[in-house]
Amino acid sequence: MKKNTLIWVVVIAAIALIAVWMVGRYNVMVTEEENVETAWGQVENQYQRRTDLVNQLVGATEGMAIYETQYMTDVISARAKATQITVDPSNITPEQLQQFQAAQGELSQALGRLLVSVEQYPELKGDQHFMKLMTEIEGSENRLAVARNTFNEQARVYNTYIRKFPNNIIAGMFGFDKRPYFEAEEGAKKAPTVDFKSLKH
Amino acid sequence: MRKELLLFVFCVTLCLTARGAGYTVSTLPDPKVDCADCYVSNPDGVLSASAVDYINSLSQSLKKTSDVEMAVVVIDAFDEYVYADAFSFCQDLFNTWGIGGAEHNTGVLVFMALQSRDVRIHTGGGMEGLLPDIKCDEILDYRSTYLSAGDYDEGISAICNDITNVLTTDEAQAELLLGYKPKSTEATKDLTIYLIAAILAFLLIYLFGYKKWNDKKNVNKQALINSTAPVQTASGCLTLFFPIPMLFFFLYFKRKRRNIRTEPVECEQCKSKMRRISSIDRFVYLNPKQRTETKIEAIDYDVWVCQTCGKVHTEPLEGRRYRDFSQCSVCGAMANKLTGTTILSNSTYTTHGKKKLTYTCQYCQSVTTSVITLPLLVRSSSSSSGSGSGSGRSGRGSSGGSWGGGSSFGGGAGRKF
């Protein structure tokens, strides 16, 4: 009788300990997942902010000489493409993220070319409103870089946590999935691309 | 020989120039390390001492009135192999140092690098409303004329002054001091640890105390009482931390231990219940030796008397001062008390010393002695005479400070001058 009670107490205590331990791990996962989501929210905010700024920019330049150029046409078409792609934050696949990033990256590049071309249009350099918008867009690009880095950092922390043993068991039980990363496009954009095929000739 | 020497000199210069190519965030001196009230990192001496003092005074007043930290970094160059541009250097530096209050990210970094002709105002996450990129760009646009002319003291001071002016208007102050949200504490983790500790404590007390009581094989009353004394004390102490389970244990043990002493004993002769004699009356039933032992509190005797046949049964229990006494080798009473120690020879680093202990029996008054060997002396590795030497450094450390832990999301504006 007494021995039975002891066994029961030990079993219940062991179950309680395991439960407490699992609850702890589970809660850390929820927190980390929430951090990834928050970081993604920041990324979306910053993209939205840039889209708004581009809309203003397009409005401000209507009727000006630059509006008719290829630079502006590129920006407008890239914006249209970028706004079409929306991503569900709780369910991002690497392919979706890559698509999203490609579309947004195209807009970045179009804006970059526009920024450089401004030198050719003295009337624009004198336009206060336009120059302010360009400063804002530049700041927006900076913030985007930071937001993407933060997202990657959070996603890395979360992915590492859920993939470690024995956390992966709990993650599997409750459906915590690995999150994709942003590819490093900044560095790739800066390095000059050399076409080796053309060099051979 | 000369050729090799030249080659060596060339290599050394190459290494030095490569190393001196510019600062990284980790090699840049942090002004907060040496002095809590310093905000300017000016390792290459680009700014004059008076300009540094002026900027420090501006930053100090900002820090005092609102939780804003304005850091100023003026260097010759940053390492262009590590950082693509001034922005990425500033962003890394800002978050590594943690400029500004952590709660609202109220930090501003003013940065200038001479070689790349970069000047930048980098804002913390909470400052983007008061110092939008446009505002920063305006300030830089307006003040970069000083910098282009090479008047760095005036240029940087003016930029810092402009920032201070923006941040000290009444509206800005009101916004900066607006409702500080109380930080939500991570109580769940502490609670988990507490619960685990409570379960462990419960299990330990259960195994060492409760189980022992209810073990039917354990019939030795005396041993039972003695061995559960520490468990009762332990559960009493633990009541402070885990009131609910431990108070139950404590009261349970207290009751049990009292009850077991007063529980009627069966007479060995006639098998009838015996009566316990009260603590004052029991002396009549004790022999002189037992009386002494009771008086000096070495042993506490419980006396039982059979009501039918008159048999007396004494039950010895550990007294309150049981540990102060040992058994006398002459009369056998538990009354040998340590009454004196004499050191016969001191220990050295190589030979053991000897000490004589004198015991006197409180009952038969016989004196016994025993000699014990003392441990060798041990050379201590640190001499205590030099204890004052460490204070200089800690004194210096205490005057240092740290940044508030704020972070930036990449706000601000920069330009070439």
For chain B, the distance separating the N- and C-terminal CA atoms, rounded to the nearest angstrom, is 48
Name every residue whose Cβ is closer than 8 Å to that of residue B227 and which is 6 or more positions away in sequence: B212
For A9-19, the pLDDT digits (tens) are 888 889 989 88
pLDDT at position A187 is 42
B91 touches chain A (CB under 8 A): yes
Residue B188 touches partner A, C-beta closer than 8 Å: yes
Q: What is the structure's pLDDT at B180?
A: 43
Contact B234, B242 (CB under 8 A): no
Q: Say whether pLDDT at B20 is over 70.
A: no
Q: What is the mean pLDDT of residues B9-33?
A: 71
Q: Which of A158-162, B39-43, B396-400 has the lowest mean pLDDT?
A: B396-400
C-beta contacts of B180-183 below 8 A and 24+ residues apart: B180/B103, B180/B104, B181/B103, B183/B103
Q: In chain A, what are the domain boundaries? A: 2-182
Phi, psi of B220 (to 5 degrees): -75, 100
Note the helical H segments in A118-195.
122-125, 128-163, 167-174, 185-190
Contact B133 A146 (CB under 8 A): no
**Residues of chain A with C-beta less than 8 angstroms from the C-beta of B188:** 24, 27
- Chain B residues inside the 8 Å CB shell of A147: 409-410
Check pLDDT > 60 for residue B152. Answer: yes
Does A19 contact B at CB distance below 8 Å?
no
Q: List the structure tokens of B128.
A: 């983007």
B381–chain A nearest CA distance, Å = 44
Confidence at A192, pLDDT banded by 50, 70, 90? very low
Confidence of residue B247 (pLDDT cuts 50, 70, 90): confident
> Up-side HSE of residue B352: CA atoms within 13 Å toward CB?
7
User: Is there a contact between B413 and A138 if contact means CB atoms under 8 Å apart?
Assistant: yes
Which residues on chain B are in Cβ contact (under 8 Å) with A23? 192
Task: Report d(CA A65, CA B236) in Å as an integer.
Answer: 88
pLDDT band at B10 (very low <50, low <70, confident <90, very high): low
pLDDT value of residue B182: 39
Which residues from B are below 8 Å from A142, CB to CB? 87, 91, 410-412
Q: Which helix (H) or strand (E) holds B133?
A: helix B133-148
Residue B83 has pLDDT above 70, yes or no: yes
pLDDT, tens digit (0-9, with 9 covering 90-100), for B283-327: 888 888 888 888 888 888 888 888 788 788 887 877 888 888 888
B202 contacts in chain A (CB < 8 Å)? 13
pLDDT band at B240 (very low <50, low <70, confident <90, very high): confident
Mean pLDDT of chain B: 79
B6-15, B121-130, B136-145, B255-264: range with lowest mean pLDDT: B6-15
Asked if A42 reaches chain B (Cβ–Cβ under 8 Å), the answer is yes
| Domain parsing of chain B, residue ranges | 2-178+402-416, 187-263, 264-322, 326-373
- Answer whether B211 sits within 8 Å of A135, measured CB to CB: no
C-beta atoms surrounding A183 within 10 Å: 16
Write out the DSSP string of B33-91.
GT-TT--EE-TT--S-HHHHHHHHHHHHHHHHHSS-EEEEEEES-B-TTT-SSHHHHHH
The minimal CB distance from A145 to the residues B189, B410, B413 is found for: B410
> Which range, of A30-44, B3-17, B157-171, B361-375, averages the lowest pLDDT?
B3-17
Interchain pair A146, B410: CB under 8 A: yes
A23 with B192: Cβ contact below 8 A: yes
Report whether pLDDT(A78) > 70.
yes
Task: Answer yes or no: do A16 and B199 touch at CB < 8 A.
Answer: yes
Whether CATH 3.10.310.50 fits B2-178+402-416: yes
Residue B54, token pair as written in the block: 């002026």
CA B70 – CA B36 distance, rounded (Å): 13
More confident of the two residues B217 and B237: B237
Give me B342's structure tokens. 């004499």
Q: Give the chain A residue whose CA is nearest to the CA of B202.
A: A13
Provide the pairing of β-strand B40-41 with B69-75: parallel
Q: Does B413 touch chain A (CB under 8 A)?
A: yes
In chain B, residues with a C-beta closer than 8 Å to the C-beta of A9 are 203, 206
pLDDT of residue A198 exceeding 60: no
Token pair 């988990």 is found at: B192
Residue A35 has pLDDT above 70, yes or no: yes
pLDDT per residue as tens digits for the range B90-101: 999 998 998 988
Least CB–CB distance from A190: residue in B84, B202, B214: B84
* Chain A residues whose beta carbon lies within 8 Å of the beta carbon of residue B134: 132, 135-136
Which pLDDT tens digit goes with each residue over B328-386?
888 888 888 888 888 888 888 888 888 888 888 888 888 888 888 888 777 655 444 43
Q: How many other β-carbons are positioned within 10 Å of the β-carbon of residue B111? A: 25
